[in-house]
Structures are given as C-alpha cells and as structure tokens.
Structure 1
Amino acid sequence: MMRSVPYLVTLALLALAFPFASAFDPSALQDFCVAVNDSSSGVFVNGKFCKDPNLVRVDDFFLPGLDIPRSTSNPLGSNVTRITVDNLPGLNTLDISLARLDFAPNGVNPPHTHPRATEVLQVLEGTLYAGFVTSNPNRLFTKILHKGDVIVFPFSLIHFEINIGETNAVALSRFNSQNPGVITIANAVFGSDPLINADVLTKAFQLDKNVIEYLQKQIWWNNNN
C-alpha cells in the first residue's frame, strides 16, 4: 500500500501542472506570417492570409513617417494614428502594435477601452493628464505625465488622456496585440448603430429621457485613424 503513495503524488502533481501548461499559446512554428489580401496564398492566420515567404521583402516590416505631426483640427483636439497589421503587414501574428497620439492644447483622447490589449503609453512631447478606472469597485488612478514619462493601462480597462499644457503634445502607445481594438465609451453608448433603446439608457443613467435623446442626436467624433 505504501508503494502506491509516490505514484498517487505523481498523478496529483501532473494534474495540477496540466492546466498551467495548456494555458499558453503554442510557440510560433515559422519566422513570420506577413499579411496579404490574397486568398490564393492558402494559409489563413489570425484573420489574414500569409504572403509566400519567398515573396516577402524588407518593406513588409517597414513603415515611415511616424514623426510627422497629425491634424488635431476636430472637436476633440486629438488624433490617434494606429500602426497595425492593416498598414504594417509584417506585424501579423506578432502580437504587437503601435499608435501615435497627437494633442492640441486641451485636446482629449476620451474615455475608451481596448478589448484585446494592455497599453503602455510614453509621452514624447508636452504634458498629459492620464488615468484609468478599475472594474467594480470603480477606483480611479490618475497621473500628470511629462516628456519621457510612461504609464500602463491594464488590459481592457477604461482610460483617457488630456493635454493640460500650453503647447501641442505627442505620445506613443504600444499594445500587446496586433489588433487591440478600441471602444470609445460615449460613442458606443450614445452613437451605436442602431441606437440603444432610450428607455434603457434613461434607466441606466437616471436621466430625463429628453437628455438621453439629445445625446443620441449628437455627432460623436472618432479620433482613431
């Protein structure tokens, strides 16, 4: 009977270890999978077809011009330029993407969330006030960021930035997803297509129905390019 104890212990350890071992994605089995809109390529990975490796060139991994200021002439006073698999095909399957954020003075990147990514933001120029809100209970974390400062917005949490300086501000964001997605809260709640039933929002926000209908008639600007 005593001899069976080590055997049972081994089985228990294997049972405990198995969920952890299976929790990770398998390692890549190729160097890259450059995205291409060509179904004849035959290999479909993460929503994209893979370019024939023999036809891949260095420009598939290259994108110039991120240093060029973007226009902030819009109601939000901000512009988010995304660098994803759609404009840098070599990012496909690499689980990373970038964004340049331009702010006019008092420009805001309104509360939003990235449903598929954590974000690390670095201020390149100017001064930003940034923060995020946790899940219930909804704690707010904020920080004034200066040139060179970095802040992380945890996976999928609502966050925002506003330029509190007197000059333009620029930031660079990195995401641990090739397609982080973005849900801007006001746009999603008051500008969905079709609109959410006004009775639902009236009850949820405890506002007069006329206020909800007014908000639903507004043009909710999208600052993501």
Structure 2
Amino acid sequence: MGLQQERAIRTRLLTPKSAAEVFDREDYASARLSDISARANMSTGALHFHFANKEDLAQAVVSEARGILWRAARLAYEKNSEPLQALTDISHTLSQLLSWDVVSRAGLRLDNDRSRKGREQFIHAWHACVQRLLDRARQEGGVAAQVQLPALTCAIVAATTGIGVLIKGGEGDRTRLAFTGFWQGFLPGLAAPSLLGGLNPGGTPDVVDHAVAASRYLPYAPEEEVDAEAATTG
C-alpha cells in the first residue's frame, strides 16, 4: 500500500470521530463543516474530498456508531441465555458505551435529530431486538400472562431510547442508576412471578463488564485498522 493510500484510509477513519466530537457538542443544524475540518486537522477542501457534505458525514458517524453498539449488544446477548435478563444486560451495555464513546453517543443523537433526513436506523433495529427477546421470553414462559407484548415493546423502546439520547460523556454511574431504576420499575409488571426474583435490574455485572470492555477495542483505533487493511491487501 502506498503512502497516499494509507493516508486516505487514515483520514477516512479519523474524520467521522472528529465529526462525532463536533456533533456531540452541537446539534446537527448548528454543526459546521469548518469546525469538523479543524477538529480533524485538515482543510475544508480535503474534507470534501472524502465526504460530499454534512449529511454524508452524519451518515458515516451513524453507520460507525451502529456497528459499535450492535457488536456490543451481540456480546452481551451471547453471554446470557435468559431473554429478559439478556434484554436488561444489553440495555446496560449500550448505555455504558454511550457514556464513554463519543461516536456511539453522537450517532444515536444524529439518528434521532428531526432536522435530518434518513433517520431512525437505531430505533428500528432496537425495536426488532426488543421484540425478538420478548417473544422468546413469552415462548419460554417468562412473561406475565396479562402482558400485551406490542405495547410493552413500544414502551421499552421509547423509554430506553429517550434515556440514551440524554446521556452525556463521563456519566457512566448516573446512567447505570437510571437504567437500573427503569428496570426496577418495569420488570415486576413484565416478568412472570416465578422468574422475577432471579432477574437483576442492575444488569449482570460480569456480562455487562465483559461486553463493555471488549467493545473498547471496537471503536476508533485508526493505527490498528490501517495496519489490518495493509495486512489484508498488501
């Protein structure tokens, strides 16, 4: 791989993170390409070489964030066979990622920003995830008989997404408390009485810690990704 191609790859990797840092500080409408290019230490012209406009950059941030969050969700899911506990653990895992990873946080906010087109990639995927886990819980007898799953699915998606959009950087402890409080109030009306006592609304510590720790290697590490690209193409 030539030096110019390597620089192009590095720029393509670094720029969405720089954009995320600006989008995290400003809303989509207020963020300026000049601020993003300055954050990425490049000219606005160089920025336009890789991204056509602000929406193109926003889409790159959302796409990267979605990959980070759903890889983390998969890690949490694979560590827990009980669907309601898995759902609780996934929500805690994603909330912790939103607290410490600026790309994830900015991506979620951009996806819910009403001034943008092409939104709601996250909420549709999260809705499908919640629905599948609740369906499985009902099949396994883990859901209380009176529960109407479509209504509960919408309520869980709305509440957890709303909390997620409000998360700021470095608020891991407060975020954990918020989601623990949500599940403390929600699980008693959702879970079958025989299962409720075995569920942990604070998340399974080993599962959440594993998923969050492993996910720290998934977001931006440009030098590692460039090396990996070189190894596979060189």
Larger Rg: 1
Higher RCO (C-alpha under 8 Å, 6+ residues apart)? 2
Superposition TM-score tier, normalisation by shorter sequence: under 0.3
- Structure (1/2) with the larger helix percentage: 2
TM-score, structure 1 normalization: 0.26
- Structure (1/2) with the larger strand percentage: 1
TM-score, structure 2 normalization: 0.25
